[in-house]
Chains A and B, each alone.
Chain A
Amino acid sequence: MAPLFEKRHLQDVSDRHPGAMRYGVWERRKITGLLLFGFAMLAFGLFEAEFNFIRFYAGLFRLGEFSMLMMPPRAGDMFLVYLSALGETLSIALLGTMIGAFLALPFSVLASRNVLPAWATRFLLRRSFDTIRGVDTLIWALIWIGVVGLGPFAGVLAIATSDFGTFGKLFAEAIEAVDPRPVEGIRSTGGTAAQEFRYGALPQALPVIAGQVLYYFESNTRSATIIGIVGAGGIGLHLSEQIRTLEWQHVSFIVGMVLVVVALIDYGSSQLRRMIIGAKPV
C-alpha cells in the first residue's frame, strides 16, 4: 500500500499554507539542531568535568554515609551560638534588603522611560545595574570585607550592593509598567511633573515594588546563610566549619534550622504580600 503522503510533500504543503503549520520545516530543523547541539555540549561538559560513573557511584556511596552520620541532628552545647548566628543572618538579610531598596528607588525612577525620557541617563543607569548584578553576592562580600573588615557589616553591605542592582532593574520595570491614564489625568488638571509621579505613577507601582522587596528578603535569607563562608557574618561560618570538620550531626542541625526559618519567612511574606497587593500573585 502506498503511503498517504510522502515526506517531500511536507515542504509543498507548508509553502502553500504557511498559516496552517505552526512552524515551518526550517524552524523545525533549527530547533532539532539546537537540541542536538545542546546534548553535544552536555556530553562535552561532562567529559571536561572528568565525570565518570565510578567516581559518581563512589561519591554517592560517600553521600549516603554522610547522611547516615547526620542522624540524629544534634547541636550539643552550641545551640545558643547557632541561634544567635541565625539571628545575625536574618538581620543581615533584612538590613541588606532594605538598604538596597531605599538606595535603588531614586535611581530606578531616573532609569524608567515614562518618567525620564532622556536616553543617555537610562542607558547608563541600566548598564550600571547590569554590571552590579553580574557580580555574585559572595564576590561583593569579599570586596566589602576588604573595605570594612570581617564581620556582619560587610555582609549587610554585600547584600545591599547586589540588591541595588536587582532592585534598580525591577523597580524601573514596575514604574514603566504603570497605566498611563491616571498620570495623564493629573497632567490634564495642571499637575506638575512631581505630582504626576507622586499621585499618578507611584500608587500603582508601590504595591508591586513592596511585593518584590518582600520576595527578595526571603531569597536573601538564603544568600545570607552562605556569605559567612567567606567571613561576612551569619550562620554560614559555623556551617562551613562543621562541614570541614565532618561534624555531620551539627551540619544537619544547622541546615534544619535554616530550612525551618526559611519556611517561616516564606509563609509570613506570602501572607504579607497577599495583604499588600490583594489575592493576585506577584
Chain B
Amino acid sequence: MSLTLYSLPDRQLAPLLDAYRHARAARRVRTVFWAAIFLASIAVAAWWVRFDPLLLWEKIGAFTSYFGRLFTLDNGQPVWTDPADWFWGFGKWLRLIGETLLIAYTGTALGALFAFAICFSAASNLSGPMTRWAARRFLEFCRTVPTVVFALVFVLAFGLGPMAGLLALTVHTLGALGKLYTETVENIDMKPVEGLQSTGGGKIQTIAYAVLPQAWSGFATNTLLRMEINFREASVMGFVGAGGIGEQLLSSVRKFYYSDVSALLAMIIGTVFVLDMLTSRLLRFLNRVG
C-alpha cells in the first residue's frame, strides 16, 4: 500500500509559504520585543533594590543556620526532644490564637454583612449609574488600602487592642467581598427578577425572592474562603498593636527567642490547616444543599 501526499504545484505554493514565513517572523519579532521589555524591567528592578545574588549565596548558610536555631532549645537540644519545653507557654499562646481567630471571624462576619448591604447597589443589573459609581469607588478604596495601614490608623483612633484590628479587617473584607458579591449578583439569571418586577414587587422583595436564591451559595463560598485569608492577616495585626498573636511573635523574633518563634509559627500553621479542613467541609455541605 502506498500513500500519496497531494500538494499544490510549486508556483501556487510559493506565495503561501512566503506568507507563512512572514507571519512567523512577525510573531518572533513581537516575542523578542516583549521579552526585551520584560528583561529590561527586571534589570531596572534589580538595580533599584540593589539585588545581590552573591549576598544571597553568602547568606544562604545563614538561612539554614537560622532555621537550625529556630528548632533548637535553649539547652542546645533539638526541639522535638522536649515538646513540653518547646511549647512552654502553650496555654497563653492558645489564648492568643483564640483571640486571633475571633478577630478574623468577627472581621469577616461584619465585613460580609456590610458587603451584603452594599453589593446590590454596585451591581450593574440592579442599580443606576450614579449609585453604582459611588458604591464601586467606595469598595475599591476599601480593598486597595492594605489592612495593616487601616490597622495603623485605627490603633490611633480606637486605641490599642483587638478592636482596632477587627475594624481594620472589617473594612478590607468589605472591599474584597463587596467586589466578589457584586460579580456574583451580576451573573444571575435576570428572568426571575423581571417576573417579580412585573407583578409589582418592590426592591427588597425582588432581592429576597429573585436574586438571593441564585446568589447565596456564591456569597457563602467567597465568605468562607475569605475567612482563611483573614486569619493569616489577623496573625500579623499584633505587629502594629492591633491584637492577636502577632505581638508575641514580633517580640519573640526581636528578642531572639528562637524556639518560641518556631512554636508560635507551628501553632499558626496548625490553625490554618484546621481552618482549611473545616471550611472545605462546610463548603461541601453547602454545595450539597445549594
Say if the beta carbon of B188 comes within 8 Å of chain A. Answer: no
Contact A255 B145 (CB under 8 A): yes
Question: What is the number of residues of chain A that contact chain B, defined by CB distance less than 8 Å?
Answer: 68
* Minimum CB–CB distance for A36 against chain B, Å: 13
Q: Chain B CB within 10 Å — which of A23, A58, A90, A229 has the most? A: A229
Known: A41-B109, A63-B153, A91-B45. A147 touches B66 (CB 8 A): yes
B56 surroundings in chain A (CB, below 8 A): 148, 153, 157
Consensus secondary structure, chain A interface: helix
A134 surroundings in chain B (CB, below 8 A): 232, 268-269, 272-273
Within the complex, which residue of A66, A135, A153 is in contact with B269, where a contact is CB–CB below 8 Å?
Answer: A135
B109 surroundings in chain A (CB, below 8 A): 38, 41-42, 45
**Cα(A139)–Cα(B144), bound, Å:** 21
**Cα(A90)–Cα(B49), bound, Å:** 10
Contact B106 A56 (CB under 8 A): no
Contact B45 A49 (CB under 8 A): no
Contact A146 B66 (CB under 8 A): yes
- Which residue on chain B has the smallest CB distance to residue A240? B152
Contact B45 A95 (CB under 8 A): yes
Contact A226 B146 (CB under 8 A): yes
Per-position binary interface string of chain B over residues 138-179, scored 1 when its CB falls under 8 Å from any chain A CB and 0 otherwise: 000100111011001110111101110111000000000000
B25 surroundings in chain A (CB, below 8 A): none
8 Å CB interface, B39-53 against A: 41-42, 44-46, 48-52
**Cα(A90)–Cα(B44), bound, Å:** 11
- Which residue on chain B has the smallest CB distance to residue A90? B45
- Which residue on chain A has the smallest CB distance to residue B103? A49
Contact B45 A45 (CB under 8 A): no
Say if the beta carbon of A155 comes within 8 Å of chain B. Answer: yes
Contact A66 B156 (CB under 8 A): yes
Contact B236 A45 (CB under 8 A): no
**Cα(A42)–Cα(B111), bound, Å:** 11
Per-position binary interface string of chain A over residues 11-53, scored 1 when its CB falls under 8 Å from any chain B CB and 0 otherwise: 0000000000011000100110000001001101110111100
Contact A152 B50 (CB under 8 A): yes
Contact B48 A91 (CB under 8 A): yes
Contact A42 B110 (CB under 8 A): yes
Say if the beta carbon of A170 comes within 8 Å of chain B. Answer: no
Say if the beta carbon of B185 comes within 8 Å of chain A. Answer: no
**Cα(A138)–Cα(B265), bound, Å:** 13
* Minimum CB–CB distance for A254 against chain B, Å: 9
Say if the beta carbon of B59 comes within 8 Å of chain A. Answer: yes
- Which residue on chain B has the smallest CB distance to residue A144? B63
B235 surroundings in chain A (CB, below 8 A): 136, 139
**Cα(A259)–Cα(B141), bound, Å:** 8
Contact B250 A142 (CB under 8 A): yes
Known: A134-B232, A139-B235, A225-B146. A153 touches B52 (CB 8 A): yes
Within the complex, which residue of B141, B146, B166, B243 is in contact with A222, where a contact is CB–CB below 8 Å?
Answer: B146
Say if the beta carbon of B186 comes within 8 Å of chain A. Answer: no
- Which residue on chain B has the smallest CB distance to residue A67? B153
A233 surroundings in chain B (CB, below 8 A): 49
Say if the beta carbon of A195 comes within 8 Å of chain B. Answer: no
**Cα(A146)–Cα(B162), bound, Å:** 27
A156 surroundings in chain B (CB, below 8 A): 49, 51
Q: Chain B CB within 10 Å — which of A139, A142, A157 has the most? A: A139
Per-position binary interface string of chain A over residues 52-82, scored 1 when its CB falls under 8 Å from any chain B CB and 0 otherwise: 0001101110110010000000000000000
Contact B41 A94 (CB under 8 A): yes
Say if the beta carbon of A239 comes within 8 Å of chain B. Answer: yes
B289 surroundings in chain A (CB, below 8 A): 22-23, 27, 30-31
Say if the beta carbon of A249 comes within 8 Å of chain B. Answer: no
A255 surroundings in chain B (CB, below 8 A): 145, 149
Say if the beta carbon of A116 comes within 8 Å of chain B. Answer: no
Per-position binary interface string of chain A over residues 213-241, scored 1 when its CB falls under 8 Å from any chain B CB and 0 otherwise: 00000000011011001100100000110
**Cα(A226)–Cα(B246), bound, Å:** 15
* Minimum CB–CB distance for B72 against chain A, Å: 14
Within the complex, which residue of B49, B63, B149 is in contact with A95, where a contact is CB–CB below 8 Å?
Answer: B49
**Cα(A44)–Cα(B166), bound, Å:** 13
Within the complex, which residue of A56, A131, A243 is in contact with B156, where a contact is CB–CB below 8 Å?
Answer: A243
Known: A49-B163, A148-B56, A262-B144. A98 touches B42 (CB 8 A): yes
- Between-chain CB contacts (< 8 Å), 19 pairs: A27-B289, A41-B106, A42-B110, A46-B166, A48-B102, A59-B167, A66-B157, A91-B48, A92-B45, A95-B45, A134-B273, A139-B235, A139-B265, A143-B253, A153-B52, A226-B149, A229-B152, A251-B153, A262-B144
- A45-B105, A95-B42, A263-B144 given; name 5 further pairs at CB < 8 Å: A41-B109, A49-B162, A136-B232, A239-B152, A251-B153
